[in-house]
């Protein structure tokens, strides 16, 4: 499995607009319709990230992405290319695997989470949060795990309720400066990341870090 983590820190609006002009319609229009500049930046970088990966791996300069029955995108030219994008705050993550994959990154920010946990988590998970010394982190950890499973399956947010692992495996990390940590190693992580793959996926992991500026400047 490969993870590419891009950092949006210091990204200029001009570079984002220039990159958007290189993204074909209708995807460009979808991104431009987003109201907030941070959301447009995240989507533009994610789009550039996967397009650059496809170019380097398959030599496809103008890839065509379609959506399956449940809305999960796939590459028309190479339908069995398994990838997933996630973004939060100033991080954009591309996960690529041999088998279907789902990834979710979340910036850890203070929030009221009890209503969300009651609606989406199991009783056991709610008890685990209540018993934790760091309940906010435990909430985000469970959320990223569940979201990664849903994204791997290509299901909607409604599937978060009553969710159970089937043939999947999930690996969770804290994102540090140029390094991934296990959640236990990092006391106060800024970002948590969970990646869900099939149990048949190997345990090898390649992680690459880059700046979003580098990604957008290299977009063809």
How many whole angstroms separate alpha carbon 56 and alpha carbon 60?
A: 8
How many whole angstroms separate alpha carbon 196 and alpha carbon 66?
A: 22
Contact 88, 94 (CB under 8 A): no
Range of the domain at 77: 1-98+203-220
Query: Tell me, what CATH number does 94's domain have?
Result: 3.90.470.20
213 with 131, same domain: the answer is no
Maximum Cα interatomic distance, the chain, rounded to a whole number of Å: 51
Contact 106, 88 (CB under 8 A): yes
Number of domains in the chain: 2
Q: Residue 100 has what DSSP assignment? A: -
What pLDDT score does 4 carry?
97
What pTM value is reported for the model?
0.94
121 with 29, same domain: the answer is no
Among the ranges given (6-15, 44-53, 125-134, 185-194), the one the predictor scored with the smallest mean pLDDT: 185-194
Peptide bond into 150 cis (omega under 30): no
158: part of which helix (H) or strand (E)?
none
Query: Cα-Cα-Cα-Cα dihedral of 23, 69, 192, 162, to 10°?
Result: 160
pLDDT category of residue 130 using cuts at 50, 70 and 90:
very high
CB within 8 Å of 190: residues ≥ 6 apart: 89, 107, 108, 175
178 with 219, same domain: the answer is no
Gyration radius from the chain CA atoms: 17
Higher pLDDT, 82 or 176: 82
Contact 91, 191 (CB under 8 A): yes
């Amino acid at each position: 499995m490969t993870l590419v983590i891009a950092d949006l820190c210091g990204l200029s609006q001009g570079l984002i607009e220039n990159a958007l002009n290189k993204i074909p319609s209708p995807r460009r229009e979808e991104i431009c319709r987003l109201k907030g500049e941070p959301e447009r930046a995240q989507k533009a970088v994610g789009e550039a990230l996967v397009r650059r990966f496809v170019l380097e791996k398959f030599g496809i300069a103008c890839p065509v992405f379609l959506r399956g029955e449940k809305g999960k995108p796939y590459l028309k030219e190479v339908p069995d290319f398994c990838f997933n994008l996630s973004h939060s705050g100033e991080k954009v993550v591309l996960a690529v695997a041999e088998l279907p994959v789902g990834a979710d990154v979340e910036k850890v920010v203070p929030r009221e989470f009890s209503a969300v946990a009651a609606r989406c988590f199991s009783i056991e998970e709610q008890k685990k949060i209540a018993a934790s010394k760091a309940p906010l982190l435990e909430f985000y950890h469970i959320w990223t795990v569940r979201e990664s499973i849903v994204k791997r399956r290509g299901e909607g947010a409604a599937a978060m309720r009553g969710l159970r692992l089937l043939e999947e495996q999930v690996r969770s990390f804290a994102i540090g400066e140029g390094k991934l940590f296990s959640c236990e190693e990092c006391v106060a992580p800024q970002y948590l990341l969970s990646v869900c793959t099939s149990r048949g996926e190997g345990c090898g992991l390649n992680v690459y870090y880059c700046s979003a500026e580098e990604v957008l400047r290299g977009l063809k």
